[in-house]
Structure 1
């Protein structure tokens, strides 16, 4: 007995489409034609060429769903450096065919804002799709790859281990939804309004971070100086900051050798293992690994206390977090450095000093080849010299930066909520095609 075929309808529809019937479902090869692309590397690009060039790396890092030639900053290439590449048109869909992570597989952008007479091409590791039969309205095509069921199909069809890729042959088989043009237009307009709100809130976040960066440059002495350019009124006549070796400021403990924390000693629940992710994300609500009380006592010198600072020494290096008062009792792993700030010093101020770009450069040494960075030894860290003001001025600076951090956190959460709302709305506005065709 065959399974009952579900209707291909979204859970949420605008009132005027409630009785519009089912959506169609077609393979990508029925909807789009493949066009030719260039194969130039980033080395051929500049700001002075005569043709705009979409680089696959920019699809991953700079653009989301759409690329707008009237607004976005896009590199160029000289026409003598490429051949046989199709010039882009508004409404074309450009897909990155390679990605280092599963979320970026076949990431796509719809072309917008191209004026007559402006030449643009897509390049190496891109696939160019053109809707010659006008199956979709402009603005809707950029949404197709973000539909959850379309994403799932692409992930399932992608090949590779460290780098995931999709071919034209694979993409041809992907099933796409096809509602009527008026319904497409309504969906695109609805989601576009949310995108505008997300863009506005993103800009607010960027502005806050820029403000903090500028304030830090004013509140701390420049390299080679012992007084900042900007001081709070009550400290204007307080004199120079005092130069101190970092060894006078903190005690240091580098995490245990990897052999001390093998997976076979981990238990289901117990004392927490602090990892570099805790320093990077400053999130202390979840832990992957735990050790027993006996093991904790054995490794007690690596244990963390509230107000300790941890530093990531592996992966994303040079990130700092302060252990909160309510944090779980535990030990650091081999990828962390623990800093215990001595008395008469403000912990948040010391963290801010460590995060200054000039001090980050001192903490991370560069290999002879220049490509690989490593955290310098504890001995070298102790010898670093920092300028320190009075405790009262430390606290004033720390409080000022903390207030901005609170605004940044609130804005980040607001932005995250909007993105979750959009994702949930898309799940409602598009039918689950795999379920419908099962």
Structure 2
């Protein structure tokens, strides 16, 4: 064991004052290799699921195996795992018994004075640092010999380790709870979008706001929207299009996009409530604007032929919904960076629309749902930031 130059963290639980120790992971932990599978060995059905790296962070399909292996090749509930290829970092497995793949290690702690929950949390603090020591080009990875020699810091008192581990587990559980609430709100909106707008060629939604009846009016997009091209507003901020956030200031996206300021006179004016048809139809292609600014002359700006008959936030929900994005497949063309959207083709699409009063009610409902989602998103982001701050200050 070696003493650290800076032997204590900034924030510490009361009652502990001993200097932390520095050890090598391989002194206390065995890193057990998973089993390598050929594609032919992976089954569509079988006794055991085969846990691969993609099953943690993506929607990779599950494969199965009927092989009976030595116990060290299985991951059971509560086991500490480590992803060492492509994606990096620790995971505590909390599901059914599985066979873990070759690109995953199972960590067997050999020292009874090392807390599993503490070690898991320390490995999280090491995730970004270890990326600087990776190998390979086609598949970036960490070698077993490297991680065994990796030095980690640990309080000698097991109780202090357990307190730290329990603290971060409780924080992780709270973050997971808020993530589930956020996911539920997003799923709820998706469901309401499917229920509160008629399907193509239908005139009445399945779910309706109270005090409204009768069929919605079938209207072509070309009778609702018109294109505008108002230039010579170079003094206004430049906007960029995004499907999730709509039109946003270009200087807020964190990318330094070069453009000739002399060309700004040719940029098109965008006002709140208008749409911009941009060039990424795989994301939807219709960005709603909350703000005033100018945008690329390559984009098409949409406004309403009869503003008094249309509520902009109602159409925002329509033209950014997954249902509408799916409909765009019938009118888009091109092969690079998504597909281009022609206003002439878009204008032929039919939409069902209610009265302006019902539009207001629907838009108000979704605005409240969006507000709740934003509040939940902010809570989640604050918790994640809080965790990051604690990770930086409760470890050496």
| TM-score class normalised by the smaller sequence | 0.7 to 0.9
Question: What's the counterpart of residue 190 of structure 1?
Answer: 167
| Aligned-partner SS, 1:169 | helix
1:21-32 to structure 2, matched below 5 A, reads 21-32=18-29
1:183–1:365: structure 2 CA closer, same or farther, 3 Å change rule? farther
Q: 1:382 aligns with which of 338, 347, 360?
A: 347
Asked if 1:294 is matched to 2:262, the reply is yes
CA-CA distance at 1:125 after TM superposition: 2.7
Q: Distance in 2 between matches of 1:354 and 1:367?
A: 15
Question: What's the counterpart of residue 394 of structure 2?
Answer: 429
Asked if 1:168 is matched to 2:132, the reply is no
Question: What's the counterpart of residue 192 of structure 2?
Answer: 215
1:129–1:233: structure 2 CA closer, same or farther, 3 Å change rule? closer
1:27–1:281: structure 2 CA closer, same or farther, 3 Å change rule? farther
CA-CA distance at 1:75 after TM superposition: 4.6
Q: Distance in 2 between matches of 1:366 and 1:82?
A: 53
1:135–1:56: structure 2 CA closer, same or farther, 3 Å change rule? farther
Question: What's the counterpart of residue 140 of structure 1?
Answer: 118
- Comparing 76-85 with 203-212, which one deviates more in the overlay? 76-85
Query: What is the number of equivalent residue pairs in this alignment?
Result: 379
Residue pair 1:36, 1:128 contacting (<8 A) in 2 also: yes
Q: Distance in 2 between matches of 1:134 and 1:58?
A: 31
Q: 1:127 aligns with which of 85, 105, 108?
A: 105
| Aligned-partner SS, 1:310 | strand
Q: Distance in 2 between matches of 1:152 and 1:41?
A: 31
1:60-79 to structure 2, matched below 5 A, reads 60-61=57-58, 75=62, 77-79=64-66
Question: What's the counterpart of residue 153 of structure 2?
Answer: 177
TM-superposition CA deviations, 1:161-188 (whole Å, max 9, x none): 6764323233234322222321111011
1:421–1:356: structure 2 CA closer, same or farther, 3 Å change rule? same
Residue pair 2:270, 2:289 contacting (<8 A) in 1 also: yes
Residue pair 2:34, 2:101 contacting (<8 A) in 1 also: yes
Asked if 1:109 is matched to 2:91, the reply is yes
Residue pair 1:274, 1:333 contacting (<8 A) in 2 also: no
1:113–1:216: structure 2 CA closer, same or farther, 3 Å change rule? closer
Q: Distance in 1 between matches of 2:147 and 2:36?
A: 20
Question: What's the counterpart of residue 315 of structure 2?
Answer: 350
- Comparing 405-414 with 162-171, which one deviates more in the overlay? 162-171
Residue pair 2:281, 2:332 contacting (<8 A) in 1 also: no
TM-superposition CA deviations, 1:238-285 (whole Å, max 9, x none): x3212222222223589xxxxxxxxxxxxxx97544334x44334735
TM norm structure 2: 0.82
1:91–1:356: structure 2 CA closer, same or farther, 3 Å change rule? closer
1:402-417 to structure 2, matched below 5 A, reads 402-417=367-382
Asked if 1:94 is matched to 2:81, the reply is yes
Q: Distance in 2 between matches of 1:365 and 1:162?
A: 37
Q: Distance in 2 between matches of 1:319 and 1:178?
A: 51
Asked if 1:12 is matched to 2:26, the reply is no
TM-superposition CA deviations, 1:283-317 (whole Å, max 9, x none): 735154475653111x23x3322322235533962
Q: Please, what is the CA RMSD of the aligned residues?
A: 3.5
1:421–1:162: structure 2 CA closer, same or farther, 3 Å change rule? farther
Question: What's the counterpart of residue 51 of structure 1?
Answer: 48
CA-CA distance at 1:190 after TM superposition: 1.1
CA-CA distance at 1:156 after TM superposition: 0.9
CA-CA distance at 1:45 after TM superposition: 5.4
CA-CA distance at 1:220 after TM superposition: 0.9
Q: Which residues of structure 2 form unaligned runs of 5+?
A: none
TM-superposition CA deviations, 1:134-154 (whole Å, max 9, x none): 45323223213321xx23431
CA-CA distance at 1:199 after TM superposition: 2.2
Q: 1:38 aligns with which of 35, 38, 52?
A: 35
Q: Distance in 1 between matches of 2:390 and 2:105?
A: 28
Q: Distance in 2 between matches of 1:315 and 1:8?
A: 55
1:112–1:403: structure 2 CA closer, same or farther, 3 Å change rule? closer
Q: Distance in 1 between matches of 2:71 and 2:331?
A: 43
- Comparing 421-430 with 79-88, which one deviates more in the overlay? 79-88
CA-CA distance at 1:401 after TM superposition: 0.7
| Aligned-partner SS, 1:294 | helix
Q: Distance in 2 between matches of 1:294 and 1:367?
A: 32
Q: Distance in 2 between matches of 1:357 and 1:224?
A: 17
1:223–1:185: structure 2 CA closer, same or farther, 3 Å change rule? same
